Amino acid sequence: NAGVTQTPKFHILKIGQSMTLQCTQDMNHNYMYWYRQDPGMGLKLIYYSVGAGITDKGEVPNGYNVSRSTTEDFPLRLELAAPSQTSVYFCASSLSGGGTQYFGPGTRLTVL
Amino acid sequence: AQKITQTQPGMFVQEKEAVTLDCTYDTSDQSYGLFWYKQPSSGEMIFLIYQGSYDEQNATEGRYSLNFQKARKSANLVISASQLGDSAMYFCAMRLAGLNTNAGKSTFGDGTTLTVKP
């Protein structure tokens, strides 16, 4: 079991560019999540999904999009990147809504 | 809306002593889970302990225990016999559960930095 994997680990993006952060889990978990963590702060929920084909907004969804076409994958799309999106992005999964979350290693994104 | 409050930005503890990290939460939902995570300087998120809102007994996992007081809406983490490797950021989190239409929606506190002194 690889658990939750994220790619890339690091990336520098120019203002206005777009990119997709990849997240894959091999635990057959129904729930998947995207968070961002700004320096010295806690995690803020961007989007989450309760199963394939179903996604919902979290606390800070503006500037992001997600899709969930399979159980395993939950990519996060940044359109028209802005410096305010410089952050560490974590993907996570859980079997149920209240169950233990397993986190990926994170993607450190810088927008210049 | 859910809210998690961690009032201690930083805490110090002597090696081998016990320490309590505070967490209070606010929600109008009845079914939820409370979690504690450790984030060392390397950045990964490490799950420590879980307490369900309907669990009557406090959760324990090795040196970690969760002091759950539902009426006060508090979920403090107790680390016994602190070790130097416990120095890290600790986050309290809540996630809605059960048949709630918002099941899965989660909220994190801003964290407490714990430093263990030799």
Residue A83 corresponds to which tokens in the numbers above?
């410096």
Q: Please indicate whether, in this complex, the C-beta atoms of B104 and A94 are within 8 angstroms of each other.
A: yes
Residue A104: Cβ within 10 Å count: 24
Predicted local confidence at residue B64, as pLDDT: 97
Flag whether pLDDT at A98 surpasses 80. Answer: no
What confidence tier does B56 reach under pLDDT thresholds 50, 70, 90?
confident
pLDDT digits (tens, 9 = 90+) for A12-38: 999 999 999 999 999 999 999 999 999
Substitution target in A29, A45, A49, A93 with the highest count of B β-carbons within 10 Å is A45
Residue A36 corresponds to which tokens in the numbers above?
């961002």
User: What is the radius of gyration, based on Cα positions, of chain B?
Assistant: 14
pLDDT digits (tens, 9 = 90+) for B67-114: 999 999 999 999 999 999 999 999 999 988 877 677 778 899 999 999
SS3 (DSSP) at B85: helix
**A41 in contact with B, Cβ within 8 Å:** yes
Residue B90 to residues A79, A94, A103, B97: CA-CA distances in angstroms? 32, 20, 15, 22
Q: Give φ, ψ of A107 to 5 degrees.
A: -125, 125
Distance of CA A104 to the CA centre of its chain: 9
Report whether B4 contacts B23 (CB < 8 A): yes
For chain B, give the mean pLDDT. 93
Q: In B, residues 2-41, which contact A (CB 8 Å cutoff)?
A: 4, 31-33, 35
CA of A41 to nearest chain B CA: how many angstroms apart?
5
Q: Please indicate whether, in this complex, the C-beta atoms of B4 and A42 are within 8 angstroms of each other.
A: yes
pLDDT digits (tens, 9 = 90+) for A59-75: 999 999 999 999 999 99
Q: CA of B97: which chain A residue's CA is closest?
A: A98
Question: Is the bond preceding A83 in cis, omega lying within 30 degrees of 0?
Answer: no
